[in-house]
Amino acid sequence: MRVLYTKDADFKEAFEKILARAQMDVEEVTPIVQGIIQEIRTEGDAALCRHVAKFDRWEPKSGEELRIDPALMRAAYDKLDEKLKAALHLAYERIEAYHKKQLPKSWIDFEENGTILGQKVTPVERAGLYIPGGKAAYPSSLLMNAIPALVAGVEEIVVTTPTPDNEPNELLLAACHLCGIDKVYKVGGASAIAAMAYGTETIPKVDVISGPGNIFVATAKKLVYGEVNIDMIAGPSEIGVIADESADPRYVAIDLLSQAEHDEMASSILVTTSRELADAAVKEVEGFLKVLKRKEIASKSIHDRGAIIVAECMSEAVDIMNRIAPEHLEIVTKNPFELLPKIKHAGAIFLGENTPEPIGDYIAGPNHTLPTGGTARFYSPLSTEHFLKKSSIIAFSCQAMQDIGEAAAILAHTEGLEAHAKSIEIRLDAKRQK
């Protein structure tokens, strides 16, 4: 694992590479994804079945075979170990409680002259959730995407997930049943995104798509944006840790590896003011790597894309982390709350040594679908608002029109929009003639 010192002559060059961690080579991927999307748009279920046969190694004879029977979801839920079932329920309850607090409200204001202004908040009618499958399936991602939609009041939720060899993940099916979702389809990749964006004979068109995925999924979401809304364009997972000399190097090391084990492209970055912690963390990382089941993935990630940066002071450490704008940020210092006001950019912030990032992945309550690759500078975590839309409410009385209509007409004339101005003026004139 690389150790960088901010005083080193080559630090700036090395740091620029860290900031470029999210750059994806989409030149080869984009034409492939465009072709997949076009096939789904023109051929519907026939293209879906062909893509499933090609990528997931089983051959559905019709689109109807892609849908998972809700009875199988119920059976998977019923077979759950009781401790696992209780854990899922606890996660559901905590995620639901947190997201209920995010709900925006409709409102109406009345002015003395009879003007009524307000905002009407309504959910989208149908949401599409993409949940990765295959070698690794993540029921936690289903909960984190489905529950905000349910809290928002979405009437219909559609789930797509790849099922290599036609073997759905039992725990994912159980989580779907827990969330009351009965429209789950065995299709993945760009094909699934296109199917939800444009609709096929079997999979209905949705209004918003959320959920993580690989470069093909991310590219497809980017290409269909505008036809539907999307949550964000997410890249590989990442963690940033700010720590001082009080941090336990074992805690820091395993937290860095908690993201490295996700993906060879994941990035794990420690910024510390302590050279002693930096050296100790390197040793602990190497020790943990020897015993991790996913050590090949974690080792490639941590050695190719991980880094430890030794800063001259805590102020410099914070500035560096704000430039990185990590998906997950842990602050492991003597008093982490002192640094909180100085943090400008982070998807989720974990404060103190007893708050490791994985607690947020599963059970804390806030959403774990977060902006990656520095996009925390302008993106927010997935929330109930991603499944809501707002309409403005405007109602004018005759008196209100008399009070401010002339100003509106003047502005319309200034922009050369005669019909705009006339629409207002004929009402003003009609009132004056009475």
Residue 50 located in a structural domain: yes
Check pLDDT > 70 for residue 201: yes
Judge whether 378 lies within some domain: no
222, 290: one domain: no
Structural domain including 404 reads 396-433
Give the chain's domain count: 3
| Whether residue 96 is found in the same domain as residue 211 | yes
Are both 33 and 103 inside the same structural domain? yes
pLDDT at 24: 66
419: in domain: yes
Give pLDDT tens digits for 125-158. 999 999 998 656 789 999 999 999 999 999 999 9
215 shares its domain with 250: no
The structure tokens 């943090």 sit at: 343
Which residues are the active-site residues? 327-328
Instruction: Locate 330 and state its tokens.
Output: 């842990």
pLDDT at residue number 430 = 85
- In this structure, is residue 388 part of a structural domain? no
Helix axis angle, 170-178 relative to 70-78, nearest 10°? 100
Please give the helix or strand (H or E) that residue 238 lies within, else none.
Answer: strand 238-243
Please indicate, yes or no, whether residues 61 and 153 belong to a single structural domain of this protein: yes
- Do residues 38 and 61 both lie within one domain? yes
Same domain, 175 and 70: yes
Domain end (from 197, 230, 263): 230
Predicted local distance difference test score (pLDDT) of residue 21 = 83
pLDDT in tens, 24-80: 667 789 999 999 999 999 999 999 999 999 999 999 999 999 999 999 999 999 999
Q: Could you report the per-residue pLDDT of 375-388, keeping only the tens digit for each? A: 999 999 999 999 99
pTM of the model: 0.94
Same domain, residue pair 67 and 97: yes
pLDDT of residue 135: 56
pLDDT tens-digit profile of 259-303? 999 989 999 999 999 999 999 999 999 999 999 999 999 999 999
Can you count the helices (H) and strands (E) in the chain?
17, 14
Kindly state the tokens that stand for 3: 């150790």
Q: What is the pLDDT of residues 312-364, one digit of tens each?
A: 999 999 999 999 999 999 999 999 999 999 999 999 999 999 999 999 999 99
Tell me if 354 is assigned to some domain: yes
Mean pLDDT rounded to a whole number for the chain: 95
Q: Of 181, 177, 165, give the one whose Cα is nearest residue 129.
A: 181
| Residues 8 and 44 placed together within one structural domain of the fold | no
Which has the closest alpha carbon to 230: 221, 219, 241? Answer: 221
Average pLDDT of 72-99?
Answer: 98
Please state, in angstroms and rounded to a whole number, the distance separating the CA atoms of residues 104 and 410: 35
Residues 426 and 327 occupy one common structural domain: no
Same domain as 214, residue 151: yes
The verdict on residue 185 lying in a domain is yes
User: Do 240 and 324 fall within a single domain?
Assistant: yes
Domain edge (last residue) among 183, 206, 230: 230
Residue after which a domain boundary falls, among 230, 264, 295: 230
